[in-house]
Amino acid sequence: MSESPPVTPTPVAVASDPASSPVPPRQTARGGMDLTSGPIAKTLIIFALPTLASNVLQTLSGSVNSIWVGQFLGNSALAATANANIIMFLMFATFFGFGMAATVLIGQAIGRGDIDAARRAAGGAIGLAALFAVVIAIVGWFASDAILLLLETPPEAFALAHDYLRVTFVAVPASMISVTLMMASRGAGDAVTPLRFMVLTVVIDIVLNPVLILGLGPVPRLGIAGSALATAIAGTISLIGMIIWFYAKDHPLRLRGRELAYLAPSWRELRFIIARGLPMGAQMLVISGAGLVMVGLVNREGLVTAAAYGATLQLWNYIQMPALAIGAAVSAMAAQNIGAQRWDRVSTITNSGITINLAMTGVLIALLLLFDRAALALFLGSGSEAIEVSRHIQYIATWTFLPFGTTIVIIGTLRANGSVVPPLIILALSMFPIRFGIYYFAYPALGANAIWWSFPLSSLASLTMAWAVYQRGAWRRALPQPGAN
């Protein structure tokens, strides 16, 4: 058994607009959506909406839990959770790329009707996630103090962060396997099942947080550890429920009998997932690293500017959600069509994704700018002088999410056929030498405004590079399948 060599580039044909077809998106026998037929724009919207809802719910859950911790336990506890959450984000970002690489394999396998290959890819991703998560949980449990010291956690928050972080590490295996299952399910054309269990997770988490923090009823008071335990319990219940659901509904990715051996991936599958997963995980780390550097630059401008930027980031979290959801939907949809050799639909999928994102993100930006004062008052208080600074930031930089979203959609298409290194290079160039170069050279003339202008200008640069890679066409080479003859 050997990997098939890449074939010569296959040009994307220009066809009549499939989005105008009156045929509705076909549902598969097991409830997932067939993404290789029907009207493209309508199918893309229907498939992206559950992912968008999941992202919104997850963000809202984090906000509500922060409110519980801040109100019941104070600022030191809130700072402790922030330090721990940074660590968790980095851990999940590292594994994110592996899950996405498996999702590409799953989507292409489903597209060409090879369910066994899809199950092999899903099983390999789940097995890798379980192994990775157990190692992280064990190492994290014993190294939590060293990690917090490395982050220079404030002394008054150290003990609280220690308790919170240890419980959070215990919850890593269930959380990571759940995330992997959800990503795999979307690759198979099923975005509704992840939404169902995201709702379950969020409801349980929000309800249990005050119960375990305060010790309501017969439950003992656990303080900040109770907040982490609530999240762990919610994630575990959701994972068990999702596994039961997969088997009860005979989901395309469920494993039975000999298929359970797929949980121990072969070296060829691991090599494929790791080779393409590492660059995708590195993309997340690049974005996170640039964000941390940007926070440091903003902090130099003083407390008011730092508070204004913090409130702005809260609002930007919601504005970027359509781009992230549509980019994921485009990636899954393009992967299935590539697997089905429906190259005539891939360009239309990308163009539809760009158009839908521009419309949705544009509406959100307009609403934010119309009601920015009221929205910012939720985070800063109606009398804060930081509101006007934040409004100034919004007017200069919020439109950056239009080119940003377009870039995310294009990268989603590239990723659908395993092209992962060019997006990493594009993000690394735009986030570091370009963005911080703009800041460095413009700061003497513009002051703090150089920070805000660096966002849209660097986003335009990344869009230009992404579009050039997309148009060049080398990414359209056939993706070698692990284990192919």
The tens digit of pLDDT for each residue in 239-263 reads 999 999 999 999 999 999 999 999 9
Amino acid at 151: L
Comparing C-alpha atoms, which of 132, 103, 96 is closest to residue 339? 103
Listed range (144-148, 149-153, 215-219, 409-413) with the worst mean pLDDT: 149-153
The answer for residues whose C-beta is within 8 angstroms of residue 384's C-beta and 6 or more apart is 307, 377
Q: What is the pLDDT of residue 196?
A: 94
Indicate whether 328 pLDDT > 80: yes
pLDDT at 6: 31
Residue-averaged pLDDT of the chain: 83
Residue 25 has pLDDT above 60, yes or no: no
Of 63, 341, 115, whose CA–CA distance to 250 is shortest? 115
**Sign of dihedral through CA atoms 40, 46, 50, 55?**
positive
Alpha-carbon gap, residue 392 to 315, rounded angstroms: 14
Per-residue confidence band for 238, with pLDDT thresholds at 50, 70 and 90: very high
Q: Which pLDDT score, from 0 to 100, does residue 35 have? A: 84
26-62 exposure pattern, b = at least 16 Cβ within 10 A, e = fewer:
eeeebebbbbbbbbbbebbbbbbbbbbbbbbbeeebb
The string of pLDDT tens digits covering residues 155-187 is: 777 787 788 888 888 888 998 999 999 999 998
- CA distances, 437 to each of 81, 432, 443 (Å): 33, 8, 10
Q: Could you tell me if residue 435 is left (phi over 0), alpha (psi between -120 and 50 degrees) or otherwise beta?
A: alpha
Residue 312 predicted with pLDDT over 80? yes
CA-to-CA distance for 368 and 67, rounded, in angstroms?
22
Predicted pLDDT of residue 79: 64
For residue 95, is pLDDT > 50?
yes
